[in-house]
């Protein structure tokens, strides 16, 4: 399958480096998700936040920022937008008044169900060249890489959430 504007000789240079290829595919799937999520009224980053909150329940703002890899100022803007749409709520942590806890709302949970359908459609289109077995294998391999790369998750944050990297 030829890609317009990319010469055959140039393609192996990119694909030789798995990280560059993953980064390129990451940008491509993000564009694809953006198109599929637009009718729902969400961006991929907003969707990631809602999916994380649905999976983990209430978490601190710092923990959410770490797991989403979003700096504090951008996270506040993201959460402000989600809160304005009544998709999340924020409240002071009763155990530590300096922290805010973020939780998905009932409306946010209902919207995530629509997101799941849109995401499944986007993935079916994006990964159409792979069989179901190959997609499962790819998912398993990427999960292993994610674990070895020590990507931040709420249950595996460094001791001090404020220092996550």
Per-residue model confidence as pLDDT tens for the chain (165 residues)? 445 554 545 555 666 788 888 989 999 999 989 999 999 999 989 999 999 999 999 999 999 999 999 988 899 999 999 999 999 999 998 888 888 899 999 999 999 989 988 888 889 999 999 999 999 999 999 999 988 876 655 554 444 444 564
CATH number at 136 reads 1.10.10.10
Q: Which residues contact 15 (CB under 8 A, 6 or more apart)?
A: 21
Say how many residues make up the chain.
165
Specify the pTM: 0.74
Range(s) of the domain holding residue 42:
10-163
Stated as kind and residue range, the H or E segment containing 107 is helix 106-126
2, part of any domain: no
The CB density around residue 161, as the number of other CB atoms within 10 Å, is 19
Residue 56 to residue 25: CA distance in whole angstroms? 27
Residue 4 lies in a domain: no
Number of domains in the chain: 1
């Amino acid at each position: 399958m030829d890609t317009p504007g990319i010469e055959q000789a140039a393609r192996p240079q990119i694909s030789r480096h798995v990280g560059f290829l993953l980064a390129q595919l990451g940008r491509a799937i993000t564009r694809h998700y953006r198109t599929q999520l637009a009718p729902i009224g969400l961006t991929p980053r907003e969707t990631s936040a809602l999916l994380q909150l649905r999976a983990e329940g209430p978490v601190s703002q710092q923990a959410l920022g770490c797991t989403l890899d979003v700096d504090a100022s951008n996270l506040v803007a993201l959460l402000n937008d989600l809160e304005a749409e009544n998709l999340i709520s924020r409240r002071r942590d009763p155990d530590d008044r300096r922290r805010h806890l973020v939780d998905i709302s009932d409306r946010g949970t209902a919207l995530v169900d629509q997101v799941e359908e849109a995401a499944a459609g986007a993935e079916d289109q994006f990964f159409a060249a792979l069989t179901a077995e190959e997609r499962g294998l790819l998912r398993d391999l990427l999960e292993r890489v994610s674990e070895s790369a020590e990507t931040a998750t709420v249950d595996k944050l460094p001791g001090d959430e404020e220092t996550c990297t």
